[in-house]
């Protein structure tokens, strides 16, 4: 894909992940940083301070760069948004500060238009906006509605910045046994799903 992110010589990549307590939002940011580190990059992951109680909105951040990262403040102008819970879309301004060339990945089986995001489609590059049914994929492979690792597989396909192998490695660092295997399989399915979506878009 000609529109993949390239980091070499580019400014730092800033990723903001929105979800709810209990969905593994902070774990997603940590796994993303491990995946980037696995590919020889510098990375940093941290949560926003606030309620971690189940169901409460949670935000986590990840920065990836070819150089050492000294910044520590929250990400106000992300290059990438990952939304783990679509019910947040009309409750929280998840798109706040998103870079004009930004990428958006939403956990949903519905399209941006069906999610009531037609205005976002108009403002951003349509080939960088996509959805993936991460909860359904997680239920299939894990038996639990945990979309975090699934979305990282989707992000790898959407951005081209991290490989599926690096995501699988990060999952293996965080989980073990059946849980790790299920998450790896779920991430791989999301990767293929997004790849197909992008190919269809390219030929549309």
pLDDT surpassing 60 at residue 5: no
Tokens of 148: 């975090």
pLDDT surpassing 70 at residue 3: no
Tell me whether residue 3 is in a domain: no
State the pLDDT confidence band at 54, using cuts at 50, 70 and 90. Answer: confident
Which has the higher per-residue pLDDT, 128 or 5?
A: 128
Helix (H, G, I), strand (E, B) or coil at 31: helix
Nearest to 35 by CA among 151, 158, 164: 164
Q: Report which DSSP code applies to 88.
A: G
Where residue 18 sits, what CATH number does that domain have?
A: 3.40.920.10
pLDDT in tens, 68-95: 998 888 899 999 999 999 999 988 899 9
pLDDT > 90: percent of the chain: 76
3-state helix, strand, coil in the chain (%, to 5): 40, 20, 40
Tell me whether residue 95 is in a domain: yes
pLDDT in tens, 18-49: 999 889 999 999 999 999 999 999 999 988 86
Tell me whether residue 120 is in a domain: yes
Tell me whether residue 4 is in a domain: no
Nearest to 86 by CA among 124, 48, 116: 116
Sole residue written with tokens 């307590």: 21
What values do phi and psi take at 119, rounded to 5?
-65, -35
Per-residue pLDDT at 10: 61
Mean pLDDT along residues 155-161: 91
Tell me whether residue 129 is in a domain: yes
How many structural domains compose the chain?
A: 1
Per-residue pLDDT at 52: 62
pLDDT surpassing 80 at residue 106: yes
Tell me whether residue 104 is in a domain: yes
pLDDT in tens, 181-191: 999 999 999 99
Q: Report which DSSP code applies to 143.
A: S
* Domain extent at residue 38: 13-203
User: Under a CB-based contact definition with an 8 Å cutoff, are residues 185 and 138 in contact?
Assistant: no
pLDDT surpassing 90 at residue 16: yes
H helices of the chain, in order, are 25-38, 118-123, 134-142, 148-159, 164-174, 177-203
Per-residue pLDDT at 53: 72
Tell me whether residue 181 is in a domain: yes
Tell me whether residue 31 is in a domain: yes
What values do phi and psi take at 7, rounded to 5?
-95, -30
């Amino acid at each position: 894909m000609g529109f993949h992110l390239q980091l070499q010589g580019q400014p730092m990549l800033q990723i903001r992940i929105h979800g709810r307590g209990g969905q593994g939002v902070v774990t997603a940011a940590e796994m993303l940083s491990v995946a980037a580190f696995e590919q020889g990059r510098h990375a940093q992951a941290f949560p926003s301070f606030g309620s971690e109680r189940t169901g409460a909105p949670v935000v986590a951040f990840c920065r990836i760069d070819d150089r050492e990262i000294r910044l520590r403040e929250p990400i106000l102008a992300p290059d990438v948004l990952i939304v783990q819970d679509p019910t947040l879309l009309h409750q929280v301004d998840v798109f706040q500060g998103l870079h004009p060339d930004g990428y958006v990945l939403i956990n949903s089986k519905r399209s941006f238009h069906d999610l009531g995001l037609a205005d976002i489609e108009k403002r951003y590059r349509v080939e960088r906006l996509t959805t993936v049914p991460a909860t359904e994929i997680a239920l299939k492979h894990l038996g639990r509605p945990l979309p975090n690792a699934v979305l990282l597989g989707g992000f790898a396909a959407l951005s081209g910045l991290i490989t599926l192998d690096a995501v699988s490695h990060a999952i293996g660092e965080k989980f073990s046994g059946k849980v790790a295997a299920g998450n790896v399989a779920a991430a791989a399915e999301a990767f293929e799903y997004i790849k197909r979506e992008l190919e269809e878009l390219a030929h549309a």
